[in-house]
Amino acid sequence: MSQPVDLLSALADIDPASELAQARAERHAATQHTQGSYEVLFSQDDSDLPLPSRFALAALIAGWHGATRLQAHYQQQVTTTTPDARVASGHAFAELLSLHPVDATPQHIERLQQAGWTPRGIVTLAQLIAFVSFQSRLLTGLRLLSGEETATQTHAVAGTWHDAPRTLSGQTALTAFTQQELGWEAWLAAKPLNEFTADEQATLKKNGHSDSDYFRLLARNLPLLEQRTLTDKGIFYTSGGLSRAERELAATVVSKVNGCIYCASVHARKASQLSKDEPAVQKLLNVAPGAELAHGQSPRWAAMIDLVATLSITPAAASLQQVQRLRDQGFTTLELLDVIQSAAFFAWANRLMLTLGEPFLPEQSQG
């Protein structure tokens, strides 16, 4: 019987007998559905985003993220594509979302629509950009865990974030990181529940997505959303390894680097509840743009924050020295894999949240 395909294992040259291979087998769901997300993205061939354009775009994105092996993989699949205004607008959007996701605005979505992109096409485009951003960082992390130096470490600092006082619809916007529960408004209409088939509605219900504008927007490409959801669950909701509190901490750190106030509010709140250390989490949220994220944290959290943050910049700049610092703090290979997968996944999550809408402060939270 042939072995299932595992693209990242092949690109990272993971020794099948290694602790890392064993850890990835233990995280079977995350490994399986990371590959599943890739297979869905690069098997759909429709007019929204034809397959040749997907491979060409993925090669560009992987290059921007410094993932040369992944770039070469995608480049090998590229056939000739005919440039047009629609393709050009997709490339501009991809560059923005890859390198400066916090700069995305409703006007960028409007430009795609004016160039002929459908709502489903825009969702698929955003998912592709965000997925390759995730895939690139996961590959970088796996190569580090295999002992291969990939980059020079830089300082791990907080990114910038939005400072407009109002959202597109006129609601109170967020101009600071918080652990409050926030709302999120879409810049592109979510698909109404009654426009899904009965089977599709059952899939949404099973994953708790029926009442969420965000997930019904992503469900414009439901097969891809389903694989993404299963990847998420395989990374964050598994037993053993890194504590759930520290997986949530990793999500919060990435959100600070990318300036995603909404994601940070959700995951900082969970990290506080689970770690019982709300002051340390709030200290992380309070870090100003350009300041070091690990400052004033415990040695364990400082080492973890540093690795996660440098893995989250573009291109990623995490180092073997940082991995060793975590091992010195007692991290096992499985825990290190959990750190890297949690961090990489939020390169995906932040890019969708920042691109397709924005957070607001619910009325009951004001005053």
pLDDT digits (tens, 9 = 90+) for 193-235: 999 999 999 999 999 999 999 999 999 999 999 999 999 999 9
Give the burial class of 259: count Cβ atoms within 10 A of its Cβ; 0-12 exposed, 13-18 middle, 19 or more buried.
Answer: buried
pLDDT tier for residue 2 given thresholds of 50, 70 and 90: very low
Is the pLDDT at 155 greater than 80, yes or no? no
Tell me what pLDDT residue 48 has: 85
Q: pLDDT per residue over 280-322, tens digit each?
A: 999 999 999 999 999 999 999 999 999 999 999 999 999 999 9
Tell me what pLDDT residue 151 has: 60
pLDDT tier for residue 361 given thresholds of 50, 70 and 90: very high
Tell me what pLDDT residue 47 has: 86
Q: pLDDT per residue over 51-110, tens digit each?
A: 999 999 999 999 999 999 999 999 999 887 677 788 899 999 999 999 999 999 999 999
Is the pLDDT at 117 greater than 70, yes or no? yes
Distances (CA, A) of 232 to 18, 215, 333, 349: 24, 13, 20, 9
Q: What is the rounded distance in angstroms from the CA atom of residue 104 to the CA atom of residue 96?
A: 7
For residue 88, give every residue at least 6 positions away whose Cβ sits within 8 Å of its Cβ, in sequence order, or none: 115
Is the pLDDT at 1 greater than 50, yes or no? no
Q: pLDDT per residue over 235-273, tens digit each?
A: 999 999 999 999 999 999 999 999 999 999 999 999 999
Tell me what pLDDT residue 80 has: 73
Is the pLDDT at 111 greater than 70, yes or no? yes
Is the pLDDT at 5 greater than 90, yes or no? no
Q: Which helix (H) or strand (E) holds 299?
A: helix 299-312
Furthest-apart CA atoms within the chain: distance in Å: 64
Q: pLDDT per residue over 174-203, tens digit each?
A: 999 999 999 999 999 999 999 999 999 999
Residue type, position 89, single letter: S
Q: pLDDT per residue over 336-346, tens digit each?
A: 999 999 999 99
Tell me what pLDDT residue 83 has: 72
Sign of CA dihedral 6, 120, 85, 102: negative
Mean pLDDT score of the chain: 94
Number of CB atoms found within 10 A of residue 279's CB: 8
pTM for the model stands at 0.95
Q: pLDDT per residue over 16-66, tens digit each?
A: 999 999 999 999 999 999 999 999 999 998 888 999 999 999 999 999 999
Sign of CA dihedral 253, 255, 256, 261: negative
pLDDT tier for residue 366 given thresholds of 50, 70 and 90: low
**Strand spans (E) along 88-240:** 183-186
